[in-house]
């Protein structure tokens, strides 16, 4: 169970853009800037007036690859809200059912993302840590190779900490609903066995999660 006492308290730093991480002890040839992932569709361009999130410097190519892929999937999942403040996220969730959640950029300098969720006592926000190629919620010892596997874990947990995401567009396309149904029937580990053409198979693999 994630400790609610460790919710994200980033209001105090809302007006201060965190600095790049110290890279003095790492191999600079392997460092990739996080700036690239913020230039994808739906995200503010670094340095623009709308840019309200911080940027990190990666210590390894593998970490850069994981976050770049995660960022791309977040841009298409429908429940990623970008550089939203804690207060804005909590206001979005205030009238939603318990268990409704969204993903947004964390404004803490040591985190990329945070999950904001409506609980029985009101909305809270919890930092999502990324360390050694794995994602975990602040206060939890469980970690996952993929951010969406983390979300699935808490959705399927008997404690029902997360129930349903808050999407920007409530009405999902028939294409997305069909993909979700196929994944529920076959499982993502069996997608290669489904007798469909390559284009459809690539679409199924582009977001192989039941969220």
- Is pLDDT larger for residue 174 or for residue 154? 154
- Is pLDDT larger for residue 121 or for residue 37? 121
3.30.565.10, 3.40.1410.10, 3.40.50.720, 3.30.505.10: CATH of 17-165: 3.30.505.10
Name the residue ranges covered by the structural domains of the chain: 17-165, 174-206
Q: Count Cα neighbours of 91 within 13 Å in the Cβ-side half-sphere.
A: 5
Q: How many CB atoms lie within 10 A of CB 86?
A: 21
Name 113's bridge partners.
Answer: 105, 128
84 close to 61: Cβ distance less than 8 angstroms: no
pLDDT reported for residue 61: 87
pLDDT reported for residue 27: 39
pLDDT reported for residue 165: 95
pLDDT reported for residue 199: 84
């Amino acid at each position: 169970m994630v400790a609610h006492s460790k919710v994200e308290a980033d209001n105090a730093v809302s007006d201060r853009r965190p600095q790049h991480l110290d890279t003095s002890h790492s191999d600079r040839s392997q460092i990739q800037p996080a700036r690239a992932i913020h230039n994808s569709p739906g995200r503010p361009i670094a340095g623009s007036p709308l840019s309200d999130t911080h940027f990190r410097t990666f210590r390894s190519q593998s970490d850069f690859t994981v976050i770049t892929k995660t960022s791309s999937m977040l841009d298409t999942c429908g429940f990623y809200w970008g550089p939203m403040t804690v207060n804005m996220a909590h206001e979005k969730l205030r009238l939603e059912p318990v268990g409704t959640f969204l993903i947004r950029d964390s404004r803490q300098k040591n985190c990329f993302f945070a999950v904001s969720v409506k609980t029985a006592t009101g909305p809270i926000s919890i930092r999502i840590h990324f360390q050694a190629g794995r994602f975990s919620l602040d206060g939890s010892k469980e970690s996952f190779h993929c951010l969406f596997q983390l979300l699935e874990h808490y959705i399927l947990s008997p404690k029902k900490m997360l129930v349903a995401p808050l999407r920007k567009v409530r009405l999902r396309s028939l294409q997305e609903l069909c993909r979700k149904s196929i994944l529920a029937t076959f499982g993502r580990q069996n997608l290669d066995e489904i007798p469909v053409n390559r284009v459809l198979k690539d679409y199924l693999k582009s977001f192989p999660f039941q969220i």
